[in-house]
Amino acid sequence: MKILMIGTEKLPIPPILGGAIQTYIAGTLPYLSKVHDITVLGISNSQLSDQETVNGIRYVRVPGMIFEIYKEHVVKFVEANKFDLIHIFNRPRLVLPIKNVAPNSRITLSMHNDMFNPEKISPEEATAVLEHVSQIVTVSDYVGNVIRELYPQSSAKIRTIYSGVDSERFLPGNHPKMQKRRNEIRKAHGLENKTVILFAGRLSDNKGVDRLIRALPDLSKKFKNLALVIVGSRWFSQEGISDYVAYVRALAKRLPIPVVTTGYVAQDEIQNWFAAADLFVCTSQWQEPLARVHYEAMAAGLPIVTTARGGNPEVIIEGVNGFIVKNPENPKGFVDAISAILSDKSLMKKMGEEGRKLAVSKYRWDRVASELLKFWADAMKSSVTELKDINPISFEQPEQVFMTKLKDKVHAQPENTKSKESEKKKSKKDQKKLDKKLKKEQKKLEKKLKKEQKKREEKLKKEQKKLKEKSKKDKKRKEDKKKKSA
Amino acid sequence: MGELIIEPWIVDETTHDFFVPEYIENLAHQVLKHYDLSVRNMQIITTKPDKGGAIWKLDTKSGPKSLKLLHRRPTRSLFSLGAQEYLVKVQAARVPPIIKTKDGKNFVEAGGKLWFVAEWIEPLTPVSKDLEGAKQLCYALGEFHRLSKGYVPPQNAEIASRLYKWPKTYEKVLKKMDWLRNIAKAYSDMPASSHLLNGVEKFEQQAIQSINSLNQSSYYDLVQQGNAYWGLVHQDYGWSNGQMGKNGMWIIDLDGVAYDLPIRDLRKLISGTMADLMKWDTTWVREMIAAYHEANPISPQLYEILMIDLSLPNEFYKNLKEAVYEPEVFLNEQTAQLIQTIIETDQSKWPVLNEIKDDWKGVKTK
């Protein structure tokens, strides 16, 4: 079968800049391409050529970053090429324009987050999209259920295919291939003889690492030799540090245990940090689709503490490969869950082993690929719909603000995967160079940070001087008043 | 214009006041070539080194002008420039007219930023720092808001709007209260920490109250009217950006304008002025609102929102939110004193708000 897989306008494929969707595509391609004739359409990148065929897979790369521009190029490509099936990743708004130029192809969708929500796609367009796609696959039951709630008619078309992990790359720290790296990392960062708690993710209020940091004073009273490792790249950003990062830093500074913050870690080195850790904690506060880090932690043989938010609990068997924190706003939930693991060494070991087992038996890419192949085969059995009345359907960006939504909104909206400005910039020949560059930029930003600190101090001094003068004046006024009344 | 990208710059002991990196000076000269002006002299007036912005005063044959390097994203700056043009051309407001380039444009793009030239209004004198001055400011602000209604930004500009963001902003205030509490606890050895905790206990409750009030108010109905209906807020209005000229009050520095409920500017002006007085004063607040109302009538619904916005712990939030940056420096004796002052000033706020809360009952707007 001739199949076209279409990525998003944000990040290139293969995942040289990371990204969950891009990792998903790259992980399944080796298996899918053995069965089908596959073309991957994605965005161009200076490190990648615009047209190439690698291992029998054809890659076509067009300008992206902005949805409307990407859409235009995608439509042009689809118009000029024929496919039996077109599989679109996480962009329901591409469906109708594509259907319009490929009326005889089956169209399937892969949903990775909330792109069906009304502020992302108008209900009118969404309804038409759901009519014209053959099938929809989601990365968690949670993602599927949100679509079902919004559009009950879609229910029968939706199924969950959990993502996967390269269990040969993510390995437990005691695996012969990993022991050396584990020891090197632990030595280099003063983590020898420590029980290392790992957090990996964006430093944002949504992801909630502050709750873990606030749980640590209590935990460190109960358990000796704890250490925290935070793998996440937003300690420094282009606009200086965000107030959230400042807050987390300030809290971390006062912890009685060592805190290692890695900053940016290159894609092909992340597994080493998992291997160096002893326990994995996900602190997400928002309704998250299902964070990939869970699979990676499992493969690395780490016991997992995660939160009852979004799809995250779906890959945890409570008490077997980890624990689920019911009320993640309260740090105490993390104290309890982490304590339960740390206080029982045999349970801790068992959980890690169970996690590894699960990763190998359930969450490998070959399993994801075979489910996807079945999914496509089923999609081919569905009848091709006919696109009528295309004109009245608005392809426009839906209104940004839905007042009803605004009023009811409790949880923060997930952020789109954004490639960092610095990552976008300029051509680099390979990952290492990119890595080097990022490190350099980090240094630059540290410098900027220092400068900012100095500025703040000066501002503070000025304000305090003003205040002093004010209170002096005030005092004088009061005294004058006294004199007068006297 | 070339590959240069303007970035924030460092100022330290070795640089003089209003230092601007040479490459930016050079860009400024390049930019001026796009104008039909014979510049006799140019002088740097102010800089924003941390953001990458600057203003020069130009002495030209056709009188004094200002040259501005706008630090914001170009698409954001387009929104503000469009507003400035709308106010001058369509509404004949007293804001500085933009000088066109030789090819008839409002701006020049250089170094990845927008630059523009406008009339330098002279003479401008600040109004007196008393109630009379405050009333003049309020009247001028109302006028500005009224004239800004109906503005539609150019096609390629991004829409700068805070209109729909009030609930989010209020929630953020509440969230930061929790952050501040945790910071105060983690830094309990610092002189200001116990004061900060006291402040949080007090003001967190106020923030919750304000959020509840906002949720029950007509806010959601009001914003349905949309951006253009409400017009623009200045966002940085006060004794320096509203000044008296020959033929009335002028409003300058429009770079940060955004769509919003207009009374947010008024609220800021009132709460800031009360902070300067270190005491809330019913007469001042009433007369400031009345002066504004005269120029831009406030409906009873909008008055209710104004009361709610005044009820938010604005001064505490504004002054203490910085504590998450370097608390080991920030939470010193002076900050302790600052918190005390804010708490004391807040005491006098509630009787005032209570006294004026029904002022608009039964008032009909034209």
What pLDDT score was predicted for residue A241?
77
Same domain, B170 and B53: no
Q: Determine the residue of chain B that is closest to A448 in CA distance.
A: B10
Q: How far is B324 from chain A (nearest CA, A)?
A: 5
- Interchain CB distance below 8 Å, B324 and A246: yes
Tell me what the mean pLDDT of segment B91-117 comes to. 97
Q: What is the CATH number of the domain that holds B85?
A: 3.30.200.20
What pLDDT score was predicted for residue A430?
55
Of A249, A241, A295, the residue nearest B327 (C-alpha): A249
Tell me what the mean pLDDT of segment A436-445 comes to. 66
- Interchain CB distance below 8 Å, A457 and B326: yes
What are the tens digits of pLDDT across the range B163-219?
Answer: 999 999 999 999 999 999 999 999 999 999 999 999 999 999 999 999 999 999 999
- Interchain CB distance below 8 Å, B183 and A401: no
What pLDDT score was predicted for residue A423?
40
What pLDDT score was predicted for residue A479?
66
Residue position matching structure tokens 């632990």: A186
- Interchain CB distance below 8 Å, A457 and B164: no
What pLDDT score was predicted for residue B16?
83
Is residue B92 very low, low, confident or very high in pLDDT (cuts 50, 70, 90)?
Answer: very high
Tell me what the mean pLDDT of segment A128-153 comes to. 97
Tell which phi-psi region holds residue A396, choosing left (phi > 0), alpha (psi between -120 and 50) or beta: beta
- Interchain CB distance below 8 Å, B334 and A406: no
What are the tens digits of pLDDT across the range A215-228?
Answer: 999 999 999 999 99
Handedness of CA A414, A419, A421, A423 (dihedral sign): positive
Domain extent for B157: 131-356
Tell me what the mean pLDDT of segment B68-81 comes to. 96
Angle at the Cα of A279 from the Cα atoms of A274 and A280, rounded to 5 degrees: 65
Chain B interface residues facing chain A, Cβ-Cβ under 8 Å? Answer: 8, 10, 12, 50, 164, 167, 175-176, 179, 182-183, 186-187, 215, 220, 223-224, 278, 319, 321-322, 324-330, 334-335, 337-338, 341
CA–CA separation, B212 vs B122, rounded Å? 47
Average pLDDT of chain B, as a whole number: 95
Task: Among B99, B119, B139, give the residue marking a domain's end.
Answer: B119
Domain annotation covers residue B364: no
What pLDDT score was predicted for residue A429?
53
Tokens, residue A405: 């939504």
Same domain, B233 and B328: yes
Q: Determine the residue of chain A that is closest to B180 in CA distance.
A: A247
Chain B residues whose beta carbon lies within 8 Å of the beta carbon of residue A407: 167, 215, 220
Write the CB contacts of B60 (distance below 8 Å, at least 6 apart in sequence).
Answer: B37, B38, B39, B40
User: Phi then psi for A463, rounded to 5 degrees?
Assistant: -65, -40
What pLDDT score was predicted for residue A65?
85
- Interchain CB distance below 8 Å, A467 and B341: yes
Of A241, A243, A321, the residue nearest A279 (C-alpha): A321
What pLDDT score was predicted for residue A474?
64
Residue A409 has pLDDT above 90, yes or no: no
Tell me what the mean pLDDT of segment A117-127 comes to. 90
Whole-structure pTM value: 0.82
Domain annotation covers residue B365: no
- Interchain CB distance below 8 Å, B335 and A401: no
Nearest Cβ partner of B338 from A247, A407, A467?
Answer: A467
Chain A residues whose beta carbon lies within 8 Å of the beta carbon of residue B182: 210, 214, 247, 251
CB pairs < 8 Å spanning A and B: 77
Q: Determine the residue of chain A that is closest to B183 in CA distance.
A: A251
Q: How far is A159 from chain B (nearest CA, A)?
A: 34
Q: Is A463 on the interface with B (CB under 8 A)?
A: yes
Of A207, A45, A13, the residue nearest A110 (C-alpha): A13
Same domain, B249 and B351: yes
Is B57:B43 a contact under the CB 8 Å cutoff?
yes
What pLDDT score was predicted for residue A268?
86
Provide the Cα torsion A452, A453, A454, A459; round to 10°: 90
Q: Is A486 on the interface with B (CB under 8 A)?
A: no
Tell me what the mean pLDDT of segment A415-426 comes to. 39
Task: Among B91, B119, B147, give the residue marking a domain's end.
Answer: B119
Is residue A415 very low, low, confident or very high in pLDDT (cuts 50, 70, 90)?
Answer: very low
CA–CA separation, B6 vs B19, rounded Å? 14
Q: What is the CATH number of the domain that holds B351?
A: 3.90.1200.10
- Interchain CB distance below 8 Å, A250 and B327: yes
Same domain, B32 and B147: no
Query: Using CB atoms and an 8 Å cut-off, which of residues 401-420 of chain A contact chain B?
Result: 401, 403, 406-407, 409
Domain annotation covers residue B43: yes
What are the tens digits of pLDDT across the range B2-30?
Answer: 468 898 898 888 888 889 999 999 999 99
User: Phi then psi for A16, rounded to 5 degrees?
Assistant: -70, -20
Q: Is A332 on the interface with B (CB under 8 A)?
A: no
Domain annotation covers residue B165: yes
Domain annotation covers residue B252: yes
Nearest Cβ partner of B167 from A246, A253, A406?
Answer: A406
Is B261:B332 a contact under the CB 8 Å cutoff?
no
What pLDDT score was predicted for residue B17?
81
Is residue A416 very low, low, confident or very high in pLDDT (cuts 50, 70, 90)?
Answer: very low
Domain A179-362 has CATH 3.40.50.2000: yes
Chain A residues whose beta carbon lies within 8 Å of the beta carbon of residue B319: 463
Nearest Cβ partner of A455 from B50, B278, B338?
Answer: B50
Q: How far is B334 from chain A (nearest CA, A)?
A: 6
What pLDDT score was predicted for residue A385?
86
Q: Is A68 on the interface with B (CB under 8 A)?
A: no
Is residue B282 very low, low, confident or very high in pLDDT (cuts 50, 70, 90)?
Answer: very high
Residue A425 has pLDDT above 90, yes or no: no
Q: How far is B60 from chain A (nearest CA, A)?
A: 35
Tell me what the mean pLDDT of segment A26-31 comes to. 97
What are the tens digits of pLDDT across the range B247-271?
Answer: 999 999 999 999 999 999 999 999 9
What are the tens digits of pLDDT across the range A267-299?
Answer: 889 999 999 999 999 999 999 999 999 999 999
Residue B303 has pLDDT above 50, yes or no: yes
Domain annotation covers residue B124: no
Residue A406 has pLDDT above 50, yes or no: no
Q: Determine the residue of chain A that is closest to B218 in CA distance.
A: A407
Same domain, B247 and B331: yes
Average pLDDT of chain A, as a whole number: 87
Chain A residues whose beta carbon lies within 8 Å of the beta carbon of residue B176: 243
What pLDDT score was predicted for residue A267?
80
Nearest Cβ partner of B224 from A254, A403, A460?
Answer: A403
Please state the domain count of chain B.
2
Tell me what the mean pLDDT of segment A72-89 comes to. 97
Same domain, B138 and B238: yes
CA–CA separation, B83 vs B78, rounded Å? 8
Is residue A433 very low, low, confident or very high in pLDDT (cuts 50, 70, 90)?
Answer: low
CA–CA separation, A349 vs A425, rounded Å? 44
Domain annotation covers residue B17: no
Interface test with A, best of B325, B334, B335, B340 (most A CBs within 10 A): B325
Chain A residues whose beta carbon lies within 8 Å of the beta carbon of residue B196: none
- Interchain CB distance below 8 Å, B322 and A456: yes
Domain annotation covers residue B7: no
Residue B157 has pLDDT above 60, yes or no: yes
Nearest Cβ partner of A243 from B186, B324, B330?
Answer: B324
Task: Among B96, B119, B142, give the residue marking a domain's end.
Answer: B119
Q: Is A180 on the interface with B (CB under 8 A)?
A: no
What pLDDT score was predicted for residue A428?
45
CA-derived radius of gyration, chain B = 22
DSSP tag of A318? B
Q: Is A251 on the interface with B (CB under 8 A)?
A: yes
CA–CA separation, A158 vs B255, rounded Å? 48
Q: Where are the domains of chain A?
A: 2-164+365-404, 179-362, 431-486
A2-164+365-404: CATH topology? Rossmann fold (3.40.50)
Residue A431 has pLDDT above 90, yes or no: no
Tell which phi-psi region holds residue B201, choosing left (phi > 0), alpha (psi between -120 and 50) or beta: alpha
Chain B residues whose beta carbon lies within 8 Å of the beta carbon of residue A235: none
What are the tens digits of pLDDT across the range B312-338?
Answer: 999 999 999 999 999 999 999 999 999
Tokens, residue A218: 């209590």
